[in-house]
Structure 1
Amino acid sequence: MGRIAVIGAGMGAMAAAARLAVAGHRVTVYERTETYGGAVRRFERDGFAFDTGPGLLPLPAVYRDLFVKTGKEPLEDVVELVQVDPSARHVFADGTEVTLPNASRAGVVTALDEALGAGAGQRWGDFLVRAREAWDRTRRPLLEEPLWPNWQVLAEREPYPSVPHKKLLRTRRASTLAEIGAWELRDTRLAALLDSHALAYGLDPRVTPASAAVLPYLEHAFGTWYVRGGLRELARAVYERCVRRRVEFVFGAEASAVLEKDGRAAGVEFADGSTAEADVVVAGVAPESLRRPPAAADPVPRTGVPSRLTVLLALRGGRPEGTAHRTVVHAADAGAELDALFGPGPAAPGTVTVLRPDDPSLVPDAGHEAVALVTAVPAGSDGRDLAEQAVSAAERAVPGLRERVLWQEVRTPADVAAETGAPGGAVPAPALAAGAGALLRPGNTTGLSGLFSAGGWAHPGGGLPHAGMSGALVAGLVVEGPEFRGSQ
C-alpha cells in the first residue's frame, strides 16, 4: 500500500483516484477550489440549473467500465443515462436545415439526401466508412494504451485512408479536415457539418489532421448521451464512488509544485508553503499551473487551444414538444469565423451549439425552459462581446428567443480558468494522430519517476471519455509498472 497524492479533482484525476484506491493505495486528492469536477460544473439560479462545461456524453462505456472496475454498483444505478435522439439538428448558413438521427447510418443518409439533395447522404456515408478505418487504426494507440515511446510514428502517419479518383487514375489522400470537405464531401454544408465536430473542440479544420474524422465517427458509432439532471450528476457519481472507496479529498488546497527527493516524486508543495509527502504523485492539472522538476519535461509538442463562451438563458414558456436537444447553428461566414478564432481577424459570429435538454429537474416548472448556448472563443479573451451575437445566431434556430429571456448569465474564458486553473481558460482537445504531433498530449508517465499525469492535458487528451481513459491508464501504470500496455 502506497501513499498517492492526486493534484486536482477533475474527471480524469478522480477516475485515477478511484481505481488506485481499489488497488489498495491510500489516495488523497488535493483540489484548489471548493468542489470537484474540474470543468464539469453547474450554475443554479431561481430554480434553473445549467451545465457550464460539457453538455453531452459520448462513449459512456468509459464510465461504465470505471464503475464496474471500482465496485459492484453499475453506472446506471447512480445516474440516469438517456440516449439523445435526434442526435442533432443543423441550421446551415444558407438556411438549409437537417435533423440527424442518433447512431443510424441509413437514417443519416436519408436525412441528408432529403435536406441537401440526392447524393449528399451517400457522400457522407462513404466518409463515415473511411472514418471508421481511421478509428480502427488509432483506437488502441490513442485511447487504450500509454503513449508510445516512439510517439513520432503517430505524429507522421496519417490513418485516414486515401480515396481513389477514377478520372485522375490515382488516389488522393486528404491531410486536413478542410481537404476532406473540399475533395470528398463536395458540398459546403457537408463540409460545415464536418467542421462543426472540430470547432466543438476549438480545432481549426484548415490545419486539423484528417485523422480528426474519428470525432464524428465516434458520435455516429456509439451515440450521443445525456445524464438526467445534467452532466454534473456524472461528476457527483464519480466523486461519491471515490469517497466510498475511501479516497480523501482536501479542498481549498492549491498545489504549486511537485516535491522531488533522490530523483523521484516525493510529495506536493502548496501555495501556502505547506507540504504533503507521497510515494506517488498524479497531476491532474494543466502543466503551466504547476512547477515541476526540470526532469519531468516531455518531448511531445503542445499547442495552445481556444476556450469557450457559454450563455445561459432562463426562458419563459415551456420547451416545445419535439424540440431537438442539440441544434448546431453554423456561422454565416465560415472564413471570418476561422480568422477570428485562429488568426488575426476581428471578433466575428461563430458556430453556436444550442442545448435544450428535455429535463424537468433543470427548471422551476413546466412553464419555463433552460437553454445553453456554447461557442468557441480565443483563450484569454473576454468573450462577452460575442454573447449577443451568440443569442442572435441562436434565434435562427429558436424564433422569438429574445422575447422569452427572463435573464441570462455569461460564462467567459475567465470563468473556465477560475474553475480549472488552465491559463486563459484553455480547453484541451482529444489527442489525434498525424499533423506532426501537434494534437498529441504528453504521456501519462513523465521524466520524473513516481510522477504521472492524468486528465485532458495528458494522453489521450480532452473530452469526458478521454479524461476517464487517462485515469485508467495512470492507474494501470502505477499498479503494474512501465510494462502496462493498456486494457485488453
Structure 2
Amino acid sequence: MARVVVVGAGMGGMAAAARLAVAGHEVVVHERTGTYGGAVRRYARDGFAFDTGPGLLQLPAVYRDLFVKTGRERLEDEVELVQVPVTARHVFTDGSAVALPNASRGKVIAALDEALGGGAGERWSAMLTRARTAWEATRRPLLEEPLRAEPASRDLLVADGAYPALRPKGLLRLSRALRGRGSAGPTLAEVARDELRDPRLAAMLCGSVWTQGLDPATAPASAAALAYVEDTFGTWYVRGGLRALADALHARCRARGVAFRFDSPVAGVREKDGRAAGVELADGSAVDAEVVVAGGGPAAPGGQGTADRGMSRLTVLLALRGTRPAGTPHRTLVHRAEAPGQPLTVLRPDDPALRPDDAHETAVLTLPVPGGLPAEAAEPLAEGLLAATDAAGLGLRERVLWREVRTPADVEAETGAPGGRVPPPGLSGGGGAFLYPANPTGLPGLYAAGGWSHPGGGLPAAGMTGAMVAGLVQDPEWRGSV
C-alpha cells in the first residue's frame, strides 16, 4: 500500500484521509493552521459558542456513508442529528412572511397559499418539479462520478439543456427566453421572474442559491436544483454546532490510524520521474510519498486555477440577553429591498450547548460579500445587517450583550483561500463555467480534494470529493459510487 500525504485538514481532506486509511494506506495530514475542519470552525467566549462556517447540513447521507465505510460506529453514534421543523422563515420587504415546513411539499404548498395567496404554492411546487429533472439528469455525473472528458457525461454537464428539457410540460416562457439568449441559456433570476410571477416567490428561489454563494443573476437555471434538494431531502442541525461534525470526522481519522501534523504548512509538491513523490514543507524539509492529496484549496500546492471563483462572507456573531422566544425558527431569511434575491441569513439555534444558560441566546447573521472586502467596510456593513433585522421585526439589537464581526480576512486566515472566498456548489450548464477541476491533476499521483475541486463547495460535496479521491487512488478507472 502507498504512503499518502494529504495537504490540509479540511472536511474534504479528512474524508479522503479516513477512506484511504481504511483501504490500508499510510496517511499523514499536514495542516498549515493549528486545527482541523477548514471553514467548519467555532468561536467561543463568555459561555457562548458559535459556528463560524456552515450552520446547517443538507444530504447527511453523504456523511452516513462515510462513517459506515470507515468504521463500525454510525454517524448517529458520534453526533446527534436533528431535522429542523422549519426549513426557513422568509420575511419579505412588503411585511409579509412565510415559514416553510421542512421536507413536506404538501405543507409547503399550504403555507405559501395562506401567506402569499392562492396559487402561490402550486407555482412553487411546479418549479421544483421541473428542477427535479435537472437533479435527476445530472446528479450522478455531477456529484457521484469522477469528472471525465467523455462526450456523453461532459455534454450533459456543460450544456444548458438539463433544465429546459421539460419544455413540453409547460416551460413556454423559458423556451422564449432560450431563443432570446441564444445558446447561453437563461439565468436563474430570469427563470424565477418568468415562471413564478410573484417577486416574493422569485426572491425565495434566488435566495436559495445566493445563500450558497452564487449570484442568481449569473447562475444557470439548473441552480434551481439546489432549492429542490433542500425541499425534498430536508435540512439538518448537529447538536453542539456543525463543529461537532468536524470533531467526529477528525476522531474517525485518528481511530483509523491517520496521523496529523498541525502548524505544518506545505510549500510545494515534489516530483520524481514524472509523478508526485511527496511534499516540501515550509521549513525546507521533505516528506516522501507515493500519493499526494491537495485538499487545501486553490492557494495550496496543486491548486487548479479556481482562486477567483465565488464570494466570501461577512458573519456577525451576537450574544443576546434574554430567553429565546418560543417558536423561533432556526433559520430566517431577511429579504432586503436594496438587494432583491440576496437575503440576509439569521441562524438562531435552540441549543443549550451554545449559550451560558437559558436566560441568553445566540444568533449568527451571515451575508455573502465580495472576496477581499476591505476591513474598514465590515463594521458599517454589520450595522446595516442589524438594521435589516430591526426592519424585519426580529428585535435583536436591543438584546445584544456583545457582538463579534468576522470578515473575509478571517476566512482567509482559516482556509487559505485568497480573499477568503468560499467555494459555491458545482452546477451543470453555463457552458461548464460552474464545474470544478477534476480530482486527478496533470501530475500522476497528485489528486485534488475539497471544495475547490470536483464536485465543488458545500459540506455534502466535501464528503463526496473525499470518496472521489479515495476511489481514484485505489483504481484510476474507478467509475463512481454505486
* Alpha-carbon distance in 2 for matches of 1:80, 1:114: 34
1:62 maps to a residue whose letter is: V
* Alpha-carbon distance in 1 for matches of 2:219, 2:368: 15
Listed as ranges, the gaps of 5+ residues in structure 2 are: 179-184
Tell me how large the CA RMSD over aligned residues is. 1.8
* SS across alignment from 1:408: strand
1:12-56 C-alpha deviation (Å, 9 max, x unpaired): 000000000000000000000000000000000000000000000
* SS across alignment from 1:374: strand
1:354-379 C-alpha deviation (Å, 9 max, x unpaired): 00001011000000001000001100
Report the alpha carbon displacement of residue 206 of structure 1 after superposing the two structures with TM: 1.2
Report the alpha carbon displacement of residue 395 of structure 1 after superposing the two structures with TM: 2.1
From the superposition, tell whether residues 365 and 127 of structure 1 become closer, same or farther in structure 2 (CA, over 3 Å). Answer: same
Report the alpha carbon displacement of residue 175 of structure 1 after superposing the two structures with TM: 2.1
Q: Does 1:485 align with 2:479?
A: yes
Report the alpha carbon displacement of residue 85 of structure 1 after superposing the two structures with TM: 0.8
Residue in 2 aligned with 1:271? 282
Could you tell me whether the CA contact under 8 Å between 1:165 and 1:171 is conserved in 2?
no
Report the alpha carbon displacement of residue 158 of structure 1 after superposing the two structures with TM: 2.8
Q: Does 1:359 align with 2:359?
A: no
Residue in 1 aligned with 2:337? 332
1:198-217 C-alpha deviation (Å, 9 max, x unpaired): 11122111110011111111
* SS across alignment from 2:140: helix
* SS across alignment from 1:260: strand
1:121-161 C-alpha deviation (Å, 9 max, x unpaired): 10000011111111000100010000022465221243113
Could you tell me whether the CA contact under 8 Å between 1:15 and 1:66 is conserved in 2?
yes
Identify which of 316, 324, 328 aligns with 1:319: 324
2:163 maps to a residue whose letter is: Y
Q: Does 1:427 align with 2:422?
A: yes
Residue in 2 aligned with 1:290? 300
Q: Does 1:230 align with 2:241?
A: yes
Report the alpha carbon displacement of residue 93 of structure 1 after superposing the two structures with TM: 1.4
1:82-131 C-alpha deviation (Å, 9 max, x unpaired): 00111110001111100000001111111111111111110000011111
* Alpha-carbon distance in 2 for matches of 1:243, 1:165: 52
* Alpha-carbon distance in 1 for matches of 2:141, 2:195: 27
* Alpha-carbon distance in 1 for matches of 2:436, 2:335: 29
Give matches, 1:13-28, under 5 Å: 13-28=13-28
* Alpha-carbon distance in 2 for matches of 1:395, 1:468: 37
Could you tell me whether the CA contact under 8 Å between 1:280 and 1:450 is conserved in 2?
yes
Report the alpha carbon displacement of residue 397 of structure 1 after superposing the two structures with TM: 3.9
1:299-324 C-alpha deviation (Å, 9 max, x unpaired): xx775211000000000001111110
Q: Percent identity?
A: 63
Could you tell me whether the CA contact under 8 Å between 1:12 and 1:455 is conserved in 2?
yes
* SS across alignment from 1:57: coil
Q: Does 1:59 align with 2:69?
A: no
Could you tell me whether the CA contact under 8 Å between 2:3 and 2:26 is conserved in 1?
yes
* Alpha-carbon distance in 2 for matches of 1:170, 1:313: 43
* Alpha-carbon distance in 1 for matches of 2:228, 2:101: 14
Could you tell me whether the CA contact under 8 Å between 1:354 and 1:372 is conserved in 2?
yes
* Alpha-carbon distance in 1 for matches of 2:169, 2:469: 44
From the superposition, tell whether residues 72 and 189 of structure 1 become closer, same or farther in structure 2 (CA, over 3 Å). Answer: same
Give matches, 1:86-485, under 5 Å: 86-150=86-150, 152-153=154-155, 154-161=157-164, 162-164=166-168, 171-172=175-176, 175-287=186-298, 289-292=299-302, 303-334=308-339, 351-382=343-374, 383-384=377-378, 385-480=380-475, 482-485=476-479
Could you tell me whether the CA contact under 8 Å between 2:321 and 2:361 is conserved in 1?
yes
Name the count of aligned residue pairs: 468
Residue in 1 aligned with 2:47? 47
Could you tell me whether the CA contact under 8 Å between 1:164 and 1:170 is conserved in 2?
no
Residue in 1 aligned with 2:181? none
Report the alpha carbon displacement of residue 416 of structure 1 after superposing the two structures with TM: 0.3
Could you tell me whether the CA contact under 8 Å between 2:174 and 2:186 is conserved in 1?
no
1:175-212 C-alpha deviation (Å, 9 max, x unpaired): 21112111111111111001111111221111100111
* SS across alignment from 1:265: strand
Could you tell me whether the CA contact under 8 Å between 1:92 and 1:330 is conserved in 2?
yes
Give the TM-score normalised by structure 1: 0.93
From the superposition, tell whether residues 167 and 232 of structure 1 become closer, same or farther in structure 2 (CA, over 3 Å). Answer: closer
* SS across alignment from 1:439: coil
Could you tell me whether the CA contact under 8 Å between 1:303 and 1:438 is conserved in 2?
no
Report the alpha carbon displacement of residue 396 of structure 1 after superposing the two structures with TM: 3.3
* SS across alignment from 1:419: helix
From the superposition, tell whether residues 330 and 4 of structure 1 become closer, same or farther in structure 2 (CA, over 3 Å). Answer: same
1:487 maps to a residue whose letter is: S
* SS across alignment from 1:37: coil
